[in-house]
Amino acid sequence: MITKKLFETYSGTPLYAYTLADNIEVTVLTLGATVLSLRVPDKTGALVDVALGMTDVKSLLHNGTYMGAVVGRCANRIAGGAFTLNGKRYQVTQNDGANSLHGGARGFNSKVFAVEEVDERANSVTLRTELADGEDGYPANIVLWVKYTVSGSSLFVDYYAESDADTLCNPTNHAYFNLNGESDGNAMDNILYINANSYLQINKELIPTKRALVGDTPFEFRISKPIGRDIDQQDMQLRFANGYDHCYCLDGEHAASAVSTKSGVQMDVYTDMPGMQLYTGNFLVSENGKSVYGKRAGFCLETQFYPNAINRDDCAQPILKKGDKFHSRTTFIFSVKR
Question: DSSP letter at 108?
Answer: G
Say how many residues make up the chain: 338
Question: How far from chain centre, in Å, is Cα 276?
Answer: 9
Q: Which helix (H) or strand (E) holds 71?
A: strand 70-71
Angle value at C-alpha 118, between 113 and 122, nearest 5 degrees: 130
Report the C-alpha gap between 70 and 3 in whole angstroms.
Answer: 21
Question: How far from chain centre, in Å, is Cα 93?
Answer: 20
Q: Is the dihedral of CA 312, 134, 29, 94 positive or negative?
A: positive
Report the C-alpha gap between 93 and 102 in whole angstroms.
Answer: 10
* Active site amino acids: 174, 302
The answer to whether residues 18 and 35 touch, using CB atoms and an 8 Å cutoff, is: no
The CA distances from residue 59 to 31, 32, 207, 244, 252, in Å, are 12, 13, 27, 24, 36
Burial 171-205 (b: 16+ CB within 10 A, else e): bbbbbbbbbbbbebebbbbbbbbbbbebbbbbeee
The closest of 299, 77, 95 to 182, measured between CA atoms, is 299
Phi, psi of 279 (to 5 degrees): -125, 130
